[in-house]
Amino acid sequence: MLKNAKVLVVDDDVDVLLAVKMLLRPEVKEIVTEKNPEKIPGLLSQTSFDLILLDMNFKSSLNTGNEGIFWLRKIREADKNVAVIMITAYGDIDLAVRSVKEGANDFVLKPWRNEKLLFTMEEAIERSVNNQDTKGKGQKSDNKKSSKSSKNDLNTILGESEVMQEIFYKIGKIAPTDANILIMGENGTGKGEIARMIHQKSYRSEQPFVNVDLGALTESLFESELFGHKKGAFTDAREDRAGRFEAASNGTLFLDEIGNITLPQQAKLLTVLQNREVVRVGTNNPIPIDIRLISATNSKIYEMATENRFRKDLIYRLNTIEIHLPPLRERGEDVIVLAEFFAGNYAAKYNKANLFIDEKAKEKIRKYAFPGNIRELQHCLERAAIMAESDVITARDLDFSSSIEGPKIIDVPVSLKIEEIEKNTILKAIEKHDGNITKAAKELGITRTALYRRLGKYEI
């Protein structure tokens, strides 16, 4: 985008102007530099700029409190859409922050690193284009600086590893757009949490977030659940009912387990996404839909596409942006951060106020692969919190043997108690499908929700 941009730089320091000109000439379409801010209105009336770099600290005659803010306001009066980046000295951060509140897109501190300046410019242009694209839909425009997110602004979504920080950073950038997002990752890696986070950080955050577990929908329910139905359209249709697409109107629709739908279902979904309208079962009236679509899967969807089990054209509808969530075992020390977080939660639940994890227990956690990822870690810490005799979780309190891939699964003693048989059957099904809950549920002939309920019941 920067390549096509017309850029104006206003600074009363000619050395700065020269340096910026040298830097930007190969990077942008057109660059105009100006020493005198009084010329800004004239320049804006002649040329439509995409971005203005504006100094905050002119040493000139006007007495306006701060000239940078004064000229920023003038720019905004003339052009609401142009991206404006303030150039400021280190001592003036408060002022720079004020300028962002006054309508600047961002600021850079002098002296800057060239890559940082280019990056900030690219980002500002992208964001202002996105804001223009979505104007008129009644959204809040988001001029806040998107930065590497941490647990502080994500509440419970933890991740300090580089790989998670990159993901949070990416989310900061894509959330305010309307791009469709496909989240891929093993079971329990937090795909649902990430989808919710994207919604919360989008301009649709005050509108509904509708979650549909496609793996739990039976063939016959698929259409009416997603697209709605008319009274009498089929035996159980006792009244007119809107589907999940309509329920998510102006908000976000999260289609979980997208890899589990059949080819005919894929075709129906594709039609809706292409036409951006749904037709309730039993009617002929198309209803326009305005949703942001996030999908997730733990299936190898590209492999499925090469085997003709998943439509490529549907993938391209879903994956404008892809997020690959790494398994917990590839997130370094995050496993400990998360373990401590869960220990803290369960400390409150089980009245062990000062509960902590000792070093040997942490070592044991680090060495284990957690095939069930964060969900498995969470269950494990809950059991440990219950087992811990005092306020310390020791290695002995951590029992990975009942985990979904633990070796003891194979050695389960034969029993004729119905509950034990059920538990063992579940364990075997999960093991057979490498921890894939959806496939295990299918094999067992129950829904994922029913399977999760049983996992809870048997503390698996």
Ligand X SMILES: Nc1ncnc2c1ncn2[C@@H]1O[C@H](COP(=O)(O)OP(=O)(O)OP(=O)(O)O)[C@@H](O)[C@H]1O
Binding site for ligand X (CB under 6 A): 156-159, 185, 187-193, 256, 298, 338, 374-375, 378, 437
- CA–CA distance, 252 with 248 (Å, rounded to integer): 6
Q: Report the interhelical angle of 191-200 vs 162-174 (nearest 10°).
A: 40
- CA–CA distance, 208 with 327 (Å, rounded to integer): 29
Judged by DSSP in three states, 58 sits in coil
Structure tokens given for 80: 């609401």
Q: CB of residue 332 vs ligand X: minimum separation in angstroms?
A: 13
Q: Which residue is nearest to ligand X (CB)?
A: 190
Judged by DSSP in three states, 380 sits in helix
Judged by beta carbon, residue 37 or residue 326, the one nearer ligand X is: 326
Q: CB of residue 256 vs ligand X: minimum separation in angstroms?
A: 6
Judged by beta carbon, residue 191 or residue 292, the one nearer ligand X is: 191
Q: CB of residue 441 vs ligand X: minimum separation in angstroms?
A: 11
Residue 136 sits at the vertex; the CA angle it makes with 134 and 141, to the nearest 5 degrees, is: 55
Which DSSP category does 393 fall into?
A: E
Nearest to 251 by CA among 209, 200, 189, 293: 209
Which amino acid would we find at residue 110? K
Judged by beta carbon, residue 204 or residue 375, the one nearer ligand X is: 375
- Please tell me whether the peptide bond between 111 and the residue prior to it is cis, using omega within 30 degrees of 0: yes
Given the structure tokens 């996030």, which residue do they identify? 294
Q: CB of residue 334 vs ligand X: minimum separation in angstroms?
A: 8
Judged by beta carbon, residue 243 or residue 326, the one nearer ligand X is: 326
Q: CB of residue 13 vs ligand X: minimum separation in angstroms?
A: 45
Q: CB of residue 203 vs ligand X: minimum separation in angstroms?
A: 23
Are the CB atoms for 381 and 346 separated by under 8 Å?
A: yes
Q: CB of residue 159 vs ligand X: minimum separation in angstroms?
A: 5
- CA–CA distance, 433 with 440 (Å, rounded to integer): 6
Are the CB atoms for 438 and 298 separated by under 8 Å?
A: yes
Judged by beta carbon, residue 232 or residue 344, the one nearer ligand X is: 344
Judged by beta carbon, residue 314 or residue 338, the one nearer ligand X is: 338
- CA–CA distance, 84 with 101 (Å, rounded to integer): 12
Q: CB of residue 248 vs ligand X: minimum separation in angstroms?
A: 18
Judged by beta carbon, residue 112 or residue 458, the one nearer ligand X is: 458
Residues found in the chain: 460
Judged by beta carbon, residue 4 or residue 449, the one nearer ligand X is: 449
